[in-house]
Structure 1
Amino acid sequence: MKEILEFLRDLENNNNREWFNSNKERYQKVLKTWYAFCESLIKEIGRFDEDIAPLTIKDCTYRIYRDTRFSKDKSPYKTHFGVFMAKGGKKSMHAGYYLHIGTGAGTEYPHAHMLASGNYCYDNKAVKILREDISDEWDTFSRNILGKANSMFVPDMEGALKRVPREFDSNAPYADWMRMKSFCLSAITDDSFLLEDNLAQRVAELFKTTKPFINYINRAVDFVKEEMKG
Structure 2
Amino acid sequence: MAAAGRQGVTGGSFKGFGQKAIPFLKALDFHQSREWFQENRALYDSELHEPFCDLVETLTERFAAAGLGLRGDRKKSLFRINRDVRFAKDKRPYNQHLSAMLSPDGTKMEQGVFFVYVGVDRCFADVAWWNPEPPLLLAMRKAIIARPAEFRKLLSTLKKNGFELETEGRLKRMPRGFEQVNEPDLVDAIRNRHFYVQHMIDPAGIHAPALVDELVDFTMRAKPLLDWGRAIQGTAPRS
Same topology, TM > 0.5: yes
- Measure the CA separation in 2 of the matches of 1:203 and 1:33: 15
Q: 1:48 aligns with which of 62, 66, 71?
A: 66
Corresponding residue for residue 108 of structure 1: none
The CA RMSD over aligned residues, in Å, is 2.3
- Measure the CA separation in 1 of the matches of 2:183 and 2:75: 44
Corresponding residue for residue 53 of structure 2: 35
- Measure the CA separation in 2 of the matches of 1:120 and 1:144: 18
Q: 2:223 aligns with which of 201, 211, 215?
A: 211
* Greater Cα offset, 82-91 or 137-146: 137-146
Decide whether the 8 Å contact of 1:150 with 1:209 is kept in 2.
no
- Measure the CA separation in 2 of the matches of 1:75 and 1:89: 29
Corresponding residue for residue 194 of structure 2: 182
- Are 1:133 and 2:151 an aligned pair? no
Consecutive unaligned residues of structure 1, counting only runs of 5 or more, are 104-110
Change (3 A) 1:189 1:65: same
- Measure the CA separation in 1 of the matches of 2:115 and 2:180: 30
- Are 1:87 and 2:87 an aligned pair? no
1:213-228 alignment runs, 5 A limit: 213-224=225-236, 227-228=237-238
> Quick check: which has more Rg, 1 or 2?
2
Corresponding residue for residue 201 of structure 1: 213
- Measure the CA separation in 1 of the matches of 2:36 and 2:160: 40
- Measure the CA separation in 2 of the matches of 1:99 and 1:21: 25
SS of residue paired to 2:168: coil
Give the deviation of 1:196 after TM superposition: 5.2
- Number of matched pairs: 219
Decide whether the 8 Å contact of 2:137 with 2:193 is kept in 1.
yes
SS of residue paired to 1:63: coil
SS of residue paired to 1:116: strand
- Measure the CA separation in 2 of the matches of 1:127 and 1:7: 39
- Are 1:157 and 2:174 an aligned pair? no
Change (3 A) 1:170 1:58: farther
Give the deviation of 1:137 after TM superposition: 2.5
- Measure the CA separation in 1 of the matches of 2:180 and 2:123: 34
Give the deviation of 1:147 after TM superposition: 1.2
Corresponding residue for residue 86 of structure 2: 69
- What is the TM-score of this pair, normalised by structure 1? 0.84
Decide whether the 8 Å contact of 1:150 with 1:206 is kept in 2.
no
What whole-Å deviation, never above 9, does each CA across 1:12-58 have from its counterpart, x for those lacking one?
222222221211111121211221122112211222235225x3223
Consecutive unaligned residues of structure 2, counting only runs of 5 or more, are 1-16
Give the deviation of 1:151 after TM superposition: 4.7
Decide whether the 8 Å contact of 2:56 with 2:102 is kept in 1.
no
SS of residue paired to 1:187: strand
